[in-house]
């Protein structure tokens, strides 16, 4: 068989090879219900959040931010809540890890914003980390909230009086929704309280802390 | 000997060089922003999220693919021993291509994007790209169908493969039907193979054609080129998921991608052995064309060694999502395949115009500045990205501190980018002057 002299035969074999790999790595996952069905606590975006999602797409936030907490200890720690944060907000010192991203959380995402590059931090679990005012200030001038940040100032999302436009408000609503399908912050704090309550009630404490 | 008109080939090359200049300038603006984030601030269309898409699409489709198409219009008729099927069709394809690229700049500038890396272009432009590609395919296939020689040289298999792979990848990936993690999986099925099954095979077609021509040596091994081609055809398509390791996709899919990624060393090492082997004995007296292919081959070897290594879980854990990857991607697109295209242009342009390159010296400068600039660019990002990856592993280092720690690396990257842009200015000037023929009377048409 001389494939390299018969153009048509060559193209047919090339196409068959391409089909094989594509079938197993692309078509099979497409037919996998676990990858398509929303997880039980996922809810669709509201109209406002959807609008914010379009702004996120339009402004290309995806080129600097991923939206996937990878299944790695350092990521569940980094994108969870540190001890300072839990102390400031909940009066308790604990490291609360963020749950790694699950396929079912993304079912309503079209296009996906998983991303490939982290110039800034991952945003998959950022909802609830800051209040809306922080986000508005951050979008207006990232260096005011985060000195040394490389994020662009989104002046065109603000009007002449420096008030957020509807686009900016929608964007913040979208950001605040990210990663809040699981109530991991609240549940984590509650669990930590319980554990620390138990240890406080114990008669013997290890060392002096 | 067949007389070739080469109009489409030349004009595709000129246009691609022009687009290259523009898009690499945009790259420079982005690199300055990493030092001075307010640089050119306040203009929506120039913000990072918009011009990043213009930079990648511009470099991939405006420069590299257009240059590669031009080189195909040059080498396919010569390997077939007949004229190009239709110069008119070729020029019409170019016209459409220019419309697409300008359309891309405008739509991406106003934020009209599909939102997925390398698939940003609006649906209307996607359709135009498909039409342009079909026009290109008809021209190339019709030329091959009328060929004088029954045997087909390696470059022709690669060109034919590229045409088919590109068409399928482009159409399937742009269907607006995927959602969630499957959307990501399809995105990377496309993204990985945009390099693996578009720019790699057409780049190899170019190298397989020009390396023997430029060195005057016969191809080192026909058998190796066969092994390389069929392993590329079989192995590349399985790899997309290695871009989402540890992510929200099934573990089996990640493992399959890792196994196939490692097997990619086979096609790469066969091609590289073949190229080095063909160049043997010519390294010391290498002219500019050979230098581009020599360096390009070496970068191809290195980038395709990095690739499989990145897919190993332990390595991926550290380097994924860092600037390391940016260095890696530039080694493939700039270091390897752009170098091949530049070498091809320096070789073919004088032969089509039947007069020497305007300035050999300028071409040498172009090579060395590109080479040194690229090394500075990539090495700074590799070191910086690796440090960044290690810092991210300790959650007690705040993210902002890991951003600030990159400053020295970003500074070196910016200066390297200046060298890379300066080099391409020389390239464009040299091509322009060669095209206009200032100072050189056309020589006798000796070489074809």
Reported as a single tens digit per residue, the pLDDT across B143-172 is 999 999 888 999 999 999 999 999 999 999
Is this prediction's pTM over 0.90? yes
| Residue spans of alpha helices (H) in B311-338 | 313-319, 323-330
Tokens for B87, please give them.
Answer: 């110069």
Residue with the two structure tokens 């039409």: B131
CA-closest candidate to residue B211, choices B257, B263, B271, B169: B271
- Whether chain B has a CB inside 8 Å of the CB on A78: the answer is yes
Is residue A137 domain-resident? Answer: yes
Is residue A49 domain-resident? Answer: yes
Same domain, A118 and A147: yes
More confident residue, A123 or A88: A123
Quote the pLDDT of residue B150: 85
CA distance B152 to B168: 23
pLDDT at residue B248 greater than cutoff 90: yes
For residue B252, the tally of other CB atoms under 10 A from its CB is 12
Q: Which domain holds residue A3?
A: 1-31
State the helix-helix crossing angle for B200-215 and B265-279, rounded to 10 degrees: 20
Same domain, A85 and A10: no
- A99-135 pLDDT per residue, tens: 999 999 999 999 999 999 999 999 999 999 999 999 9
Is residue A52 domain-resident? Answer: yes
CA distance B53 to B357: 34
Confidence of residue A208 (pLDDT cuts 50, 70, 90): very low
CA-closest candidate to residue B333, choices B23, B10, B113: B23
Q: What is the CATH number of the domain that holds A51?
A: 1.10.760.10
Asked if A30 lies within 8 A of B151 by C-beta distance, the reply is no
Residues of chain B with Cβ-Cβ distance to A26 below 8 Å are 185-186, 189, 240
What's the number of domains chain A is made of? 2
Is residue A124 domain-resident? Answer: yes
Asked if A5 lies within 8 A of B53 by C-beta distance, the reply is no
- A48-74 pLDDT per residue, tens: 999 999 999 999 999 999 999 999 999
Task: Please tell me the distance in Å from A76's CA to the nearest CA on chain B.
Answer: 9
For residue B401, the tally of other CB atoms under 10 A from its CB is 11
Same domain, A136 and A52: yes
Neighbour-count burial for B298-334, b at 16+ CB within 10 Å, e otherwise: bbbbbbbebbbbbbeeebbbbbbbbbbbbbbbbbbbb
Beta bridge partners of B362: none
> Could you name the CATH architecture of B7-436?
Up-down Bundle (1.20)
Torsion of CA A46, A48, A54, A55, to 10 degrees: -150
CA distance B392 to A121: 10
Task: Please tell me the distance in Å from A126's CA to the nearest CA on chain B.
Answer: 13
pLDDT at residue B444 greater than cutoff 50: no
pLDDT at residue B182 greater than cutoff 50: yes
Asked if B165 lies within 8 A of A18 by C-beta distance, the reply is yes
Asked if A24 lies within 8 A of B233 by C-beta distance, the reply is no
Quote the pLDDT of residue B310: 95
Task: Please tell me the distance in Å from A163's CA to the nearest CA on chain B.
Answer: 15
Same domain, A59 and A26: no
Same domain, A25 and A51: no
Asked if A25 lies within 8 A of B49 by C-beta distance, the reply is no
Same domain, A114 and A52: yes
CA distance B107 to B118: 14
Instruction: Give DSSP secondary structure letters for B62-106.
Output: IIIIHHHHHHHHHHHHHHHTS--S-HHHHHHHHHHHHHHHHHHHH
Task: Please tell me the distance in Å from B436's CA to the nearest CA on chain A.
Answer: 38
Is residue A207 domain-resident? Answer: no
Is residue A5 domain-resident? Answer: yes
pLDDT at residue B131 greater than cutoff 80: yes
CA-closest candidate to residue A11, choices B264, B156, B433: B156
Is residue A184 domain-resident? Answer: yes
Same domain, A4 and A83: no
pLDDT at residue A158 greater than cutoff 50: yes
User: ω into residue B316 within 30 of 0, thus cis?
Assistant: no
pLDDT at residue A200 greater than cutoff 80: no
> What is the complex's ipTM, to 2 decimals?
0.94
Quote the pLDDT of residue B445: 45
Confidence of residue A182 (pLDDT cuts 50, 70, 90): confident
Same domain, A101 and A10: no
């Amino acid at each position: 068989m001389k494939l390299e002299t018969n153009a048509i035969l060559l193209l047919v074999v090339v196409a068959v090879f391409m089909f094989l790999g594509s079938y197993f790595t692309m078509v099979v996952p497409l037919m996998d219900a676990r990858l398509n069905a929303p997880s039980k606590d996922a809810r669709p975006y509201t109209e406002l959040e959807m609008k914010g999602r379009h702004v996120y797409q339009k402004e290309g936030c995806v080129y600097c931010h991923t939206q996937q907490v990878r299944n790695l200890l350092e990521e569940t720690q980094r994108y969870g809540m540190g001890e300072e944060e839990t102390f400031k907000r909940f009066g308790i010192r604990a490291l609360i890890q963020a749950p790694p991203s699950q396929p079912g959380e993304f079912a309503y995402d079209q296009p996906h914003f998983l991303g490939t590059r982290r110039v800034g931090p991952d945003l998959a679990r950022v909802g609830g980390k800051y209040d809306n005012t922080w986000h508005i200030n951050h979008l207006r001038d990232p260096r005011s909230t985060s000195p040394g940040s490389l994020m662009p100032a989104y002046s065109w999302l603000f009007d002449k009086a420096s008030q957020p436009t509807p686009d900016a408000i929608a964007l913040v609503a979208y950001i605040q929704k990210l990663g809040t399908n699981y109530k991991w912050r609240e549940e984590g704090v509650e669990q930590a309280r319980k554990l620390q309550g138990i240890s406080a009630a114990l008669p013997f404490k290890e060392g002096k802390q | 000997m067949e007389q070739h008109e080469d109009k489409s080939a030349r004009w595709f090359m000129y246009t691609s060089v022009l687009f290259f200049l523009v898009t690499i300038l945009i790259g420079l603006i982005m690199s300055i922003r990493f030092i001075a984030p307010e640089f050119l601030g306040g203009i929506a269309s120039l913000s990072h999220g918009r011009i990043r898409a213009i930079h990648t699409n511009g470099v991939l489709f405006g420069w590299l693919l257009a240059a590669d198409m031009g080189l195909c219009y040059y080498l396919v008729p010569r390997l077939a021993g007949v004229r190009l099927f239709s110069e008119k069709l070729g020029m019409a394809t170019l016209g459409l291509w220019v419309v697409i690229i300008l359309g891309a700049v405008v739509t991406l500038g106003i934020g009209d994007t599909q939102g997925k890396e390398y698939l940003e272009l609006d649906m209307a432009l996607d359709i135009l790209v498909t039409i342009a590609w079909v026009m290109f395919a008809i021209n190339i296939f019709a030329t091959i169908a009328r060929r004088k020689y029954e045997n087909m040289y390696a470059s022709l298999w690669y060109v034919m493969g590229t045409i088919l792979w590109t068409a399928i990848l482009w159409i399937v990936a742009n269907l607006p039907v995927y959602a969630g993690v499957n959307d990501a999986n399809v995105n990377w099925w496309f993204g990985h193979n945009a390099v693996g099954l578009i720019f790699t095979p057409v780049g190899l077609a170019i190298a397989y054609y020009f390396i023997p021509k430029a060195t005057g040596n016969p191809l080192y091994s026909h058998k190796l080129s066969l092994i390389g081609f069929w392993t590329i055809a079989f192995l590349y398509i399985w790899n997309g998921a290695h871009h989402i390791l540890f992510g929200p996709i099934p573990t089996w899919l990640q493992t399959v991608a890792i196994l196939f990624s490692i097997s990619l060393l086979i096609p790469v090492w066969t091609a590289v052995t073949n190229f080095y082997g063909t160049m043997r004995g010519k390294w010391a007296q290498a002219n500019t064309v050979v230098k581009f292919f020599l360096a390009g081959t070496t970068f191809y070897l290195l980038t395709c060694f990095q690739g499989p290594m990145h897919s190993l879980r332990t390595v991926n854990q550290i380097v994924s999502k860092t600037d390391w990857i940016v260095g890696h991607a530039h080694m493939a697109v700039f270091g390897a395949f752009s170098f091949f295209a530049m070498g091809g242009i320096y070789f073919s342009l004088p032969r089509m115009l039947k007069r020497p390159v305007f300035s050999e010296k300028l071409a040498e400068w172009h090579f060395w500045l590109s080479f040194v600039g690229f090394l500075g660019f990539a090495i700074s990002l590799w070191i910086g990205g690796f440090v960044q990856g290690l810092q991210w592993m300790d959650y007690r280092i705040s993210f902002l501190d890991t951003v600030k720690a990159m400053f020295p690396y970003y500074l070196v990257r910016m200066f390297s980018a200046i060298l890379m842009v300066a080099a391409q200015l020389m390239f464009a000037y040299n091509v322009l002057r060669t095209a206009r023929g200032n100072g050189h009377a056309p020589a006798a048409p000796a070489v074809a």
